[in-house]
């Protein structure tokens, strides 16, 4: 089968080769999916450069997190998935940019009714991650104010829609007028061009000095530190990702004094649905205290999926597709993403 593999580290056009590899055989808790579409993620850019510590398998490995397709093989106990049309994540968050994808059944869902392959590919990860952040971790309530960074991206645009649907007031940061228009059309009440203004000062002005109740931050680094300037008392900062630079995932940034003076919460968010018996295993981090691995469990996954399906049916949310790209053009598409030239989800078609 064809698979885009990272064979060396560098820019995507330098790191990736389209290889012919043997498909994996699914084991317990696994399925094999014949992919029709997969999705680009910024952490795949980091993977090409070899700077993403969380997902850093030995070279060569097949890149890619999410795909859409048909289940063609299943491990022991997973036979009920055979023949179903699904959206899923490659096992270990790799392997999706291939013709056949080994996936975890815990991260697999039927394609939502009424969605095309392209729309389904753009739906799963952004909306599940945004829902986990805003509601399970952020405890967002109607009438509260949410600051969404990178609001025109796949996950940011999902967060905007979910917050609007929940009755929150949305302040969104974007980097261009075109992206501002996209996010305005999704219902954001306030737009800040972070290239032209101090977003923290602007957010404080919009909230009349109170600050925002929730900050949905997929950028990290200095953006995270600046965001703490505009959190309200009792505000919740959601660490979703590190688009500003993946090295920030290992850099201590917040001091005890900042927490005491700010009187806010710092909350981590991860999308890695896991059977309950696996949750709590150790995940190491070089040079840092070793944390427990506490991902959301499969019962939470089903609850989130049902909530999202209800919102889809009511047409309160929709996947945002920025572009579709032929399978053979993956490296160039990733380089556009690295240059911050994309919005929404970029879907790779077989």
Q: pLDDT, tens digit, for every residue of 62-94?
A: 999 999 999 999 999 999 999 999 999 999 999
Q: Is the pLDDT of residue 162 over 80?
A: yes
Q: Which of 172, 86, 158 is nearest to 320 (CA)?
A: 158
Q: For residues 350 and 110, what is the distance between their CA atoms, to the nearest angstrom? A: 19
Spell out where 91-230 has E strands: 100-104, 109-110, 145-148, 169-174, 190-193, 212-217
Question: pTM here?
Answer: 0.93
Residue 276 has pLDDT above 90, yes or no: no
β-pair type (2-6, 61-62): antiparallel
Mean pLDDT of the chain: 92
According to the model, what pLDDT value does residue 261 have? 86
Question: Which of these, 81, 84, 77, 107, lies nearest to 94 by C-alpha position?
Answer: 107
pLDDT tens per residue across span 190-205: 999 999 999 999 999 9
Q: Are 86 and 34 in contact (CB under 8 A)?
A: no
pLDDT at 288: 47
Three-state DSSP class for 221?
coil
Domains of the chain: 2-123+319-349 (3.90.180.10), 125-268 (3.40.50.720)
What is the C-alpha to C-alpha distance for residues 99 and 199, in angstroms, rounded to an integer?
Answer: 43
- Between 105-109, 270-274, 301-305, the lowest mean confidence (pLDDT) is in 270-274
CA 5: distance to chain centroid?
Answer: 21
DSSP 8-state class, residue 141: -
Neighbours of 213 (CB within 10 A): 24
Q: In this predicted structure, what is the pLDDT of residue 280?
A: 54
- Say if strands 145-148 and 169-174 run parallel, antiparallel, or are unpaired: parallel
User: What Å distances lie between residue 248 and 129, 148, 219, 261, CA to CA?
Assistant: 19, 19, 10, 23
Element (H, E) at 173: strand 169-174
Please give the sequence-ordered ranges of beta strands (E in DSSP) within 51-144, or none if there are none. Answer: 61-62, 66-74, 85-89, 100-104, 109-110
What percent of the chain has pLDDT above 90?
81
Confidence at residue 248, expressed as pLDDT on a 0 to 100 scale = 64
Q: Is the pLDDT of residue 281 over 60?
A: no
Q: What is the pLDDT of residue 286?
A: 46
Q: What is the DSSP letter of 207?
A: T
H helical segments located in 16-63: 42-49
pLDDT at 243: 75
Q: Which tokens belong to 134? A: 């805003």
- Let me know: does 92 contact 129? Beta carbons within 8 Å: no
């Amino acid at each position: 089968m064809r698979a885009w593999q990272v064979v060396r580290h560098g820019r995507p056009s330098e790191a990736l080769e389209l290889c012919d590899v043997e498909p994996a055989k699914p084991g317990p808790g696994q399925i094999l999916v014949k992919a029709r579409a997969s999705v680009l993620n910024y952490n795949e850019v980091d993977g090409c450069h070899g700077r993403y510590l969380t997902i850093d398998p030995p070279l060569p490995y097949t890149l890619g997190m999410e795909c859409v397709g048909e289940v063609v093989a299943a491990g022991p106990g997973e036979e009920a998935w055979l023949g179903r049309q699904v959206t899923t994540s490659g096992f270990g968050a790799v392997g999706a940019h291939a013709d056949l994808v080994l996936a975890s059944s815990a991260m697999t869902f039927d394609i939502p009714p009424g969605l095309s392959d392209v729309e389904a590919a753009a739906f799963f990860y952004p909306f599940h991650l945004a829902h986990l952040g805003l509601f399970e971790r952020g405890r967002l309530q109607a009438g509260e104010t949410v600051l969404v960074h990178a609001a025109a991206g796949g996950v940011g645009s999902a967060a905007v829609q979910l917050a609007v649907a929940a009755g929150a007031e949305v302040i969104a940061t974007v980097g261009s007028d075109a992206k501002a228009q996209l996010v305005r059309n999704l219902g954001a009440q306030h737009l800040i061009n972070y290239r032209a203004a101090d977003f923290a000062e602007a957010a404080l002005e919009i909230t009349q000095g109170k600050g925002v109740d929730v900050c949905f931050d997929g950028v990290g680094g200095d953006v995270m530190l600046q965001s703490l300037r505009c959190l309200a008392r009792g505000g919740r900062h959601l660490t979703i990702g590190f688009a500003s630079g993946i090295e920030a995932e290992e850099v201590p940034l917040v001091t005890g004094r900042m927490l005491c003076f700010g009187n806010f919460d710092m909350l981590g968010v991860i999308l890695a649905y896991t059977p309950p018996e696996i949750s709590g295993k150790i995940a190491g981090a070089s040079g840092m205290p070793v944390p427990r691995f506490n991902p959301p469990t499969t019962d939470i996954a089903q609850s989130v999926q049902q909530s999202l399906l209800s919102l889809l049916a009511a047409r309160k949310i929709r996947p945002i597709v920025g572009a579709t790209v032929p399978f053979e053009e993956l490296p160039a598409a990733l380089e556009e993403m690295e240059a911050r030239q994309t919005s929404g989800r970029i879907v790779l078609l077989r």
